[in-house]
Amino acid sequence: MQISLQDFLVPTEVRHCQNFNCTNEKHLEEMENFYAELTSALLAAASSAIKPTGKNNEGKFNIPGWNSVVKSKHQIAKAAFRLWVNCNRPETGNIYRNMPETKKDFKYSLRQRRKKQNCLYDV
């Protein structure tokens, strides 16, 4: 059973108490119960809205800002890294220089995508 915020009934003791430093046991108990119910509902809503990440979800998870452009840059960076590893991790040459450059290009495109996505949410 899911409860929305509008379904929450704020206890009378919580709504009508005017004393900021109230020590009334009944008021404090009602506030603690209300807080516990509210945080529980918020955590349940968050866990149902956010997909789990990591290996328990078969490696499938959402990364903010991910799109087809970022995905292709990531594949290029992974291929460059694998080539570098397969060539016994050279410390000089084109294979060595290509690996960090493709990684940097991938990271930059991901940052740009996230920045663009955040602008959409700020409107």
* Model confidence, pTM: 0.47
Q: Return d(Cα 82, Cα 98) in angstroms, integer.
A: 11
DSSP conformational letter for 56: G
99 to each of 55, 56, 63, 73, 82, how far by Cα in Å? 26, 30, 22, 12, 9
What integer pLDDT is reported at residue 77 of this predicted model? 92
Q: Return d(Cα 55, Cα 61) in angstroms, integer.
A: 9
65 within 8 A of 51, measured Cβ to Cβ: no
pLDDT, one tens digit per residue, over 45-95 is 766 666 655 555 555 556 666 777 788 888 899 999 988 898 899 999 888
pLDDT, one tens digit per residue, over 3-58 is 666 777 777 777 788 887 888 888 888 888 887 777 777 767 766 666 655 555 55
How distant is the alpha carbon of residue 113 from its chain centre? 15
Q: What is the dihedral of CA 90, 92, 95, 100, to 10 degrees?
A: 100
Of the pLDDT bands very low, low, confident and very high (cuts 50, 70, 90), residue 123 is: very low
